């Protein structure tokens, strides 16, 4: 099993590019790779950034982790362990670490759930979900990304209207990193086909009415006809946790 609790600091080779040069690189790649296959986009990212490239995964499935591992065995897969996950999500994380040739890295917030309750009051997620996400998701990812120049995510354009314009490669100005979304153009059918072809691990909650899986208190099952992310922060106008802005 490949599993760590913090990023591996072993000599990650940093290219001598300025932020401006890297932004231009990302913009150019986003245009040139727009119609490229997902595997080709991953090959570009691996060839460009090497071991300063990481994958982020919510552990709803292992599609992107598997896809990248076929090009870059042993790639770092960052998992944000918020302390609020479903048991099924933690189980999927452990299975991914055992089954695939990836290095799963558990990213934890600086405060435990109990410490956060003491500092901000119990169940911050119910009163200020933006602050809760900032503390338990955004800050840990930002800290971890200091060891990388680029990150690969599983964002897809057909998930929500706000993601419809997701580039396959872009400049993440907030973090000063390159963001790669190799399956941005995929449909649900494309994902299903990849899962079937490769026998990809899935979070069991996907078979129990959860189309999008986040933290347990802020996630519910969706009903027929609802958007796939309708079960996230139900009853509020919130659609994103802050990782993708």
Q: Beta strand pairing status for 169-172 and 177-180?
A: antiparallel
Residue 241 known to be catalytic: yes
Among 60-64, 140-144, 235-239, name the one with the lowest average pLDDT: 235-239
CA–CA separation, 156 and 160 (whole Å): 8
CA 61 to CA 13: how far, in whole Å? 30
The one catalytic residue in 132, 133, 181, 241 is: 241
**245 token code pair:** 């802005």
Residues 180-226: tens digit of each pLDDT = 999 999 999 999 999 999 999 999 999 999 988 999 999 999 888 88
> Does position 241 have pLDDT exceeding 90, yes or no?
no
Give tens-digit pLDDT for 54-102: 999 999 999 999 999 999 999 999 999 999 999 999 999 999 999 999 9
Q: What 3-state class would DSSP assign to 104? A: strand
Gap between the Cα atoms of 193 and 39, Å rounded: 15
């Amino acid at each position: 099993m490949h599993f760590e609790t913090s990023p591996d600091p072993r000599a990650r080779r940093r290219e001598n590019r300025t932020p401006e040069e890297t932004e231009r690189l990302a913009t150019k790649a986003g245009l040139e790779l727009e119609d490229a296959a997902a595997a080709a986009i991953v090959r570009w990212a691996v060839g460009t950034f090497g071991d300063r490239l990481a994958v982020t995964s919510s552990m709803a499935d292992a599609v992107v982790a598997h896809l990248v591992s076929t090009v870059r065995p042993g790639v770092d897969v960052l998992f944000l362990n918020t302390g609020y996950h479903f048991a099924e999500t933690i189980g999927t994380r452990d299975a991914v670490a055992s089954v695939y040739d990836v290095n799963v890295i558990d990213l934890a917030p600086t405060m435990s759930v109990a410490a956060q309750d003491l500092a901000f009051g119990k169940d911050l997620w119910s009163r200020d979900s933006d602050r809760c996400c900032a503390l338990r998701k955004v800050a840990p990812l930002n800290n971890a990304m200091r060891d990388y120049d680029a990150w690969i995510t599983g964002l897809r354009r057909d998930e929500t209207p706000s993601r419809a314009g997701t580039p396959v490669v872009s400049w993440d100005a907030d973090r000063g990193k390159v963001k790669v979304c190799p399956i941005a153009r995929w449909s649900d059918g494309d994902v299903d086909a990849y899962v079937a072809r490769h026998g990809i691990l899935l979070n069991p909650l996907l078979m129990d009415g959860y189309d999008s899986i986040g933290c347990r208190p802020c996630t519910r099952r969706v009903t027929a006809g609802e958007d796939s992310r309708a079960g996230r922060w139900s009853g509020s106008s919130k659609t994103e946790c802050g990782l993708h802005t």
